[in-house]
Amino acid sequence: METRIRELLVKNSEFLFGTEIDPKTVQFQLTRKDFEGDLTLVVFPFVKLLRVSPDQAAQKIGDFLVENMPDIKSFQVVQGFLNLSLTEAYWMQVLQEIAQTKQYGFKEAGSKGTVMVEYSSPNTNKPLHLGHLRNNFLGYSVAEILKANGHKVVKTQIINDRGIHICKSMLAWERFSPLNEKGERESPENTGLKGDKLVGKYYVEFDKRFNAEAKEIIAAWEKGDFDGYNQKVVDEYNKFVAAKEGKDEKAIAAIDDKIKDLAKNQTELLRDANEMLLKWEGRDPQVYLLWSTMNGWVYKGFEETYRKMGVDFDKLYYESETYLIGKDVVDEGLQKGVFYRKEDSSVWIDLTKDGLDEKLLLRSNGTAVYMTQDVGTAIDRFRDYPDLEGIIYTVGNEQDYHFKVLFLILQKLGYSWAEACYHLSYGMVDLPSGKMKSREGTVVDADDLMDEVVASAKAMTQERGHIEGMAEEEKEKLYRMIGMGGLKYYLLKVDPKKRMLFNPEESIELTGNTGPFIQYAYARIKSLLRKAGEIGEVGNTVPGAEEKEIIKQLELFPAIIEEAAASYSPAVLINYTYELVKIFSQFYQTVKVNSEPDAGLRNLRLMICDNVGKVVASSMQLIGVEVPERM
């Protein structure tokens, strides 16, 4: 209706306003519930053109619309706003169109350009955690929403399978893994532990030993024992100690942290890890075999976790491959003068004139950093998909600066498509106990959390009953549907940009803005329709106020998908669906459906129920949530 009104006003603008108008001038908003009307036209942009008061302008436009659009039955002028009331026949037509459209709200597949959505992108030195759940659910959902909005979408991730953090796990496993009676070190096969968890165990073990070694070094320094350390390190330590004089507790703590970092850089463990990284980049056979073996364990573990999550990918990229492209690009950038080399042979770019700082591209020993890899990966992706219109990077807001630098480097290297790269920055996830930490081993494991919510959903469902007669396999599927639906919905209902507090217990509640509340409403609709049987003819029945309220909400669905796609926010879709289900629940409690004696009205209401169910299922599909036929 908005499109039709806009086209009519633009077409007749010379007659109405004495001049042509920009279609953007015609703006609408939902009519406030305390006023009569279905749609509100904002009149203020036309007041100057007509040189009359806002109410007079609204009256003139209202008279014109009623005269020229049969679907508008009346209007009301309220303080410069034009509230339009549409005919019952119009709303009946809207409902019939929704009913006849299989994927209502979805645009034609491939009608818009190709977009790549990156998400997950884990390190292969630890298992996925709660933060990865928000990341994966957000990236997957944004990809599905963009598809529904007509885009061709490539789902991808970059697996961070190289670097010093990987070498830390490798070194710790090599040094500290106990031998069994067969002389074998720990593996997924002989321990029964998922590969990603086993490797993560040794990342934590490295950090524990690393900190202990640094602590011993600091203790020796405090006693004046600097044997084996070069003068530069000794001078740095003495400078820090002297700086503590006269400082408050907070300042002293900050200096102590710098002393810890200084000591960590002198540890044998870190030196050995750096040496292992150099050997890996030099393709040392023994190191490379260890790397490929441990990464293989992790990949299998990740695949299992992704299956539980219900997410997938179209194309995988590996840092162990793309960092080489990045290193070649760095050489090209040096020749072009985009980058420069320092005296220690490290390579940098100076972005101070752009309001940023200097950024490292290659270390002095020639090894690559994250930025090197990300530059190489972006270039590789546009080579693989020449029709790409852009890349959406789903990465936490702790990396905001990194992506500003990345996109700017790509622009300075002459890649025009860099402007089509977008960082979908999202807030971190906290638990009631505080922020998660990974190196200390206190991270909330993704597998454990998913198992926990499914177990809670099982207990809740068994307590409520209503599952008599279901086969055991069907019950287990329902428990997983409710638990995972609640988890995904909870992590996506908050605007991505906001930091959020996650409470697992709240996520599976049956009341309020939760996944199970939506799922229960869908199951109730399906139950009602099963009892009703085939929906008959509506005849000349027209919707009343209660029916019209739901049809109005259903009509918004295509625009909601567009808005969610434009803002990369599944929360837009979720809030809409929650409102739709609330309106339906009120409708269900207020009117008769199956027991309605008037056959036409009964069929109309059943038709509404059916289409509410269809839209709810479509909306939940776009956030990766399944809806049950029974609950």
Q: Which residues contact 289 (CB under 8 A, 6 or more apart)?
A: none
- Residue 439's pLDDT is 45
Taking a C-beta distance cutoff of 8 angstroms, is the pair 116, 142 a contact? no
- Residue 444's pLDDT is 85
- Residue 441's pLDDT is 47
- Residue 434's pLDDT is 52
Domains of the chain: 2-86 (3.30.1360.70), 135-229+266-431 (3.40.50.620), 446-622 (1.10.730.10)
Q: Report helix, strand or coil for 346.
A: coil
Task: Report how far residue 205's alpha carbon sits from residue 581's, in angstroms, rounded to the nearest whole number.
Answer: 49
Neighbouring CB atoms inside 10 A of 500's CB total 17
Task: Report how far residue 349's alpha carbon sits from residue 346's, in angstroms, rounded to the nearest whole number.
Answer: 10
Alpha helices by DSSP H, listed for 223-316, are: 231-243, 249-264, 268-281, 285-309
CA–chain centroid gap for 164, Å, is 28
List, as one string, the DSSP characters of 414-477. Answer: T-GGGGGEEEEEE--EEETTEE--STTS---BHHHHHHHHHHHHHHHHHHH---TT--HHHHHH
H or E stretch at 350: strand 347-350
Task: Report how far residue 355's alpha carbon sits from residue 526's, in angstroms, rounded to the nearest whole number.
Answer: 57
Task: Report how far residue 66's alpha carbon sits from residue 499's, in angstroms, rounded to the nearest whole number.
Answer: 48
Could you report the per-residue pLDDT of 146-196, keeping only the tens digit for each? Answer: 999 999 999 999 999 998 999 999 999 999 999 999 999 999 999 999 999
Task: Report how far residue 135's alpha carbon sits from residue 370's, in angstroms, rounded to the nearest whole number.
Answer: 19
For helices 130-148 and 557-567, give the axis angle rounded to 10 degrees.
Answer: 130
Q: Report helix, strand or coil for 180.
A: coil
> Parallel, antiparallel, or unpaired for β 151-159 and 112-118?
parallel
Q: And the tokens for 627?
A: 């809806």
Taking a C-beta distance cutoff of 8 angstroms, is the pair 427, 500 a contact? yes
Q: What are the angstrom distances between the C-alpha of 53 and each of 18, 42, 47, 62, 92?
A: 16, 13, 6, 14, 36
Q: And the tokens for 609?
A: 């129920």
Q: Which residues contact 102 (CB under 8 A, 6 or more apart)?
A: none
Which parts of the chain register pLDDT below 70?
433-442
- Residue 367's pLDDT is 87
Q: And the tokens for 118?
A: 């990156």
Q: Report helix, strand or coil for 390.
A: strand
Q: What are phi and psi of 101, to 5 degrees?
A: -100, 115
Q: What are phi and psi of 497, to 5 degrees?
A: -70, -20
Taking a C-beta distance cutoff of 8 angstroms, is the pair 427, 399 a contact? no
Taking a C-beta distance cutoff of 8 angstroms, is the pair 529, 613 a contact? yes
